[in-house]
Amino acid sequence: MYQFSAGKLILILLVLIFSVLYILPTPDRFFDPLYGHMPLWMQKKLPQSQFETVQENSIEVNLKDVQFPKGTDFVDTTETLQLILKNRLDKAGFSLSDGVNGDYQFEVDEANERLKVLFLMDKSQNELQQILSQLHLWGSMPEIVRRLVPAERLQLGLDLRGGVYLVLEVNIDESKKDLLEETKISIPNQMRSATPRILCRTVEEQGETLLVQVGIPSRIQNNKDEKQTYLSNAEEILDSIDFFTQPIRVDTVGSKIVTYQIGITEAEKYSDQAIDRVLTVLRNRIDAFGVSEPSIRREEGKPRIIIELPGAKDSSKSLDIVKTMGQLEFKVVKSNPANSSPWILPKGSKPKPDELPEGTEVIQHYEDDSWFVVEKLASVSGDRIRNAYPSRGGQTGLDIVVSLELDAAGTRSFAEVTTQHTGELLAIILDNKIQSAPRINEPIPSGNAQISGSFSFDEATYLANILKSGAYPVQVQIAEERTASPTLGQQSIKNGMSAGLFGMGVVLLFMLIYYRGSGLVAIVALAFNMLIVLGGLAGFGATLTLPGIAGLVLTIGMAVDANVLIFERIREELRNGRRVWTAIENGYSRAFWTILDANLTTFAVALVLYNFGTGPIRGFAVTLSIGILASFFTAIVVTKELYGWFIGNRQISKLSI
């Protein structure tokens, strides 16, 4: 006789409720009104009353007196809001103005703490209110439910949605060379800044090691204690350098020079940190350019980063965003010893390395290919940029330039170099090409600078976003590039859905004809199974790909496979004269181990595919794994409880099976 289990009922209801809640955000018709497109804290702190429609064709967001979450300020909030508003307005059919074409533009009013969306065509207040309501920035779902259930949506992969797929490879060998070069430059600076000052005569490369010659001042050469303290300070500086071995004393020239050797160690750790920093820069860049729902992740076991940009149509623009190094440096142009004028040579007259003074290098101008001799050590670098934005400036005051604001340390360094080198040229170098070399007319203590270069507004905006996002710490290159057409993706979705529906229809028809009433139990379980799989994929933030759809179709067959085993065992028990509920109990218990064994072996294969596969293979493995768990649950728990709820305590003599 069936024994009602409150625990199983609660479990089934919880799985059903959470599956529905997890899949709920995926369709726009539910996500827009229930969840809204602003982060939850913004929906609470920025109610609709903070969005004011002004007669002068603008929507203004009042951020005055808003309590920002910890780690967030006015600048962060306006940047996030601009990204959200741009995506929503683009979806509503409006385009951001590039200075010539477009429907709207943003304006940040820091003095009044407002963000303005300025429409370039006349809009009445009613039209502005309608536009604001179309953006679906706020959701109606209670906060307690939002906090229980994440708003992750089931994403479509590039093969279904279309977009750009890129693989960025970090050049580990080049990164080691860069590390050696950076360390080679930094060691003399650190020893020069030490107290008391330490004399570093030379730093030479030998493979993956550096030989550092430390000079001993004559005043302490014969004082054993002072000499030992002096060398201990030098060794302490060398020992503090990350990713290098402890210094080894390899040579002593009388009492005047001691040579130390340090070599790269923890190369794997350095590579991992370098890749992580590239990953951070990439995310900042792609966020700055407003690409919606990007996927950026490391490829396990390889120095590679996989970038998926759904919906992106132009791979050339994506390539530019990804492969631009973004290394900005300010370097003083040296004076020519022959005539004391700036050392600039025409195209085709590049000096040889042995013709250059120590501590200098030669860099080419991006426009006329002339050569500038500059200091090797940068006076200020791009990592000191606090903000960058397009503006008007240059010699005429009307040219489009990129304005820079430096942080406190950068402002001090910039003030020092402009004070010490007044009257000289300061080269502004981007990715080892000189953009401009203005003359320093007077000290600049404000920490503000400009980059000019015959920019269009789009080019200046692009460069500003690159500089704000930061530079790659190591050399990178594009290892793979693919572009998928949205039209092809739509056809794949249509074909996949057709295959899934056809397969499900055939399975359902077979179950109804062959197992009659019990086939209906299997159909209910199959529908429950599909709901769990889709909810699980959405809950894990998984991406549904074409192989993932294949996994779904395979899950349909697997879901009823367990039911077939159980139903055949029940039939056998009924033929042996067992009562209906006894036959059901025996059917489930005797089929259990066969079903468990089959599911475990398939699940093991799915784990192997996930662990060793990439991209679409992993998508298939994830779908298959969730499908196996869902099939096992619905076949063993749900269908048995359905039988129990239907039969109850009634004594029936015949089962439709």
Task: Give the residue-averaged pLDDT of 420-436.
Answer: 90
Residue type, 528: F
pLDDT value at residue 68: 87
Q: Does the pLDDT value for residue 219 go beyond 70?
A: yes
| Cα 363 to Cα 384: distance, rounded to the nearest angstrom | 22
Q: What is the pTM of this model?
A: 0.62
Task: Give the residue-averaged pLDDT of 633-643.
Answer: 89
Query: What band does 409 get if pLDDT is binned at 50, 70 and 90?
Result: confident
pLDDT value at residue 331: 93
Q: Does the pLDDT value for residue 201 go beyond 80?
A: yes
- The most confident of the ranges 95-99, 165-169, 178-182, 627-631 is 627-631
Percent of the chain whose pLDDT exceeds 90: 9
Task: Give the residue-averaged pLDDT of 557-583.
Answer: 86
Task: Give the residue-averaged pLDDT of 148-174.
Answer: 77
Q: Does the pLDDT value for residue 363 go beyond 90?
A: yes
pLDDT value at residue 415: 92
Q: Does the pLDDT value for residue 371 go beyond 90?
A: yes
pLDDT value at residue 3: 73
Task: Give the residue-averaged pLDDT of 91-113.
Answer: 81
Q: Does the pLDDT value for residue 614 go beyond 80?
A: no
pLDDT value at residue 2: 65
Percent of the chain whose pLDDT exceeds 70: 94
CB distance 265 to 243 below 8 Å: yes
Residue type, 57: N
Query: What band does 166 get if pLDDT is binned at 50, 70 and 90?
Result: confident
Q: Does the pLDDT value for residue 164 go beyond 90?
A: no
Query: What band does 419 get if pLDDT is binned at 50, 70 and 90?
Result: very high
Q: Which two tokens stand for residue 87?
A: 């995506």
Q: Does the pLDDT value for residue 118 go beyond 70?
A: yes
pLDDT value at residue 293: 66
Half-sphere exposure of 232 (CA within 13 A, CB side): 6
As a whole number of Å, the end-to-end CA separation of the chain is 19
pLDDT value at residue 314: 60
* Residues whose CB is less than 8 angstroms from the CB of residue 236 and which lie 6 or more positions away in sequence, other chains included: none
pLDDT value at residue 137: 92
Mean pLDDT of the chain: 84
pLDDT value at residue 100: 66
Q: Does the pLDDT value for residue 373 go beyond 90?
A: yes
CB distance 422 to 504 below 8 Å: no
Q: Minimal CA–CA distance to 330: which of 418, 399, 397?
A: 418
Query: What band does 633 get if pLDDT is binned at 50, 70 and 90?
Result: very high
Q: Does the pLDDT value for residue 395 go beyond 70?
A: no
pLDDT tens for 453-507 read: 777 777 788 888 888 888 887 778 888 888 777 666 677 777 777 877 787 788 8
Could you give phi then psi for residue 562, rounded to 5 degrees? -65, -40
pLDDT value at residue 392: 80
pLDDT value at residue 362: 93
What are the structural domains of the chain? Answer: 6-13+487-647 (1.20.1640.10), 36-138 (no CATH), 173-268 (3.30.1360.100), 324-479 (3.30.1360.200)
Asked whether the bond before 150 is cis by omega within 30 degrees of 0, the reply is: no
CB distance 281 to 470 below 8 Å: yes
**Per DSSP, what are the bridge partners of residue 544?**
156
72-86, 306-320, 326-340: which has the minimum mean pLDDT? 306-320
Query: What band does 397 get if pLDDT is binned at 50, 70 and 90?
Result: low
Task: Give the residue-averaged pLDDT of 535-563.
Answer: 80
pLDDT value at residue 34: 87
* 566 vs 653: which has the higher pLDDT: 566
CB distance 201 to 194 below 8 Å: no
pLDDT value at residue 332: 93
CB distance 360 to 334 below 8 Å: yes
Q: Which two tokens stand for residue 573?
A: 């028990």
Q: Does the pLDDT value for residue 40 go beyond 90?
A: no
pLDDT value at residue 97: 78
Strand order in the sheet with 199-206: 199-206, 209-215, 257-263, 248-253
Give 628-631's long-range contacts (Cβ < 8 A, gap of 24+): 628/555, 628/558, 628/599, 628/602, 628/603, 629/536, 629/603, 630/529, 630/532, 630/533, 630/536, 630/555, 630/559, 631/529, 631/555, 631/558, 631/559, 631/561, 631/562, 631/599
Q: Which two tokens stand for residue 65?
A: 């007196």
Map residue 508 onto helix, strand or coil: helix
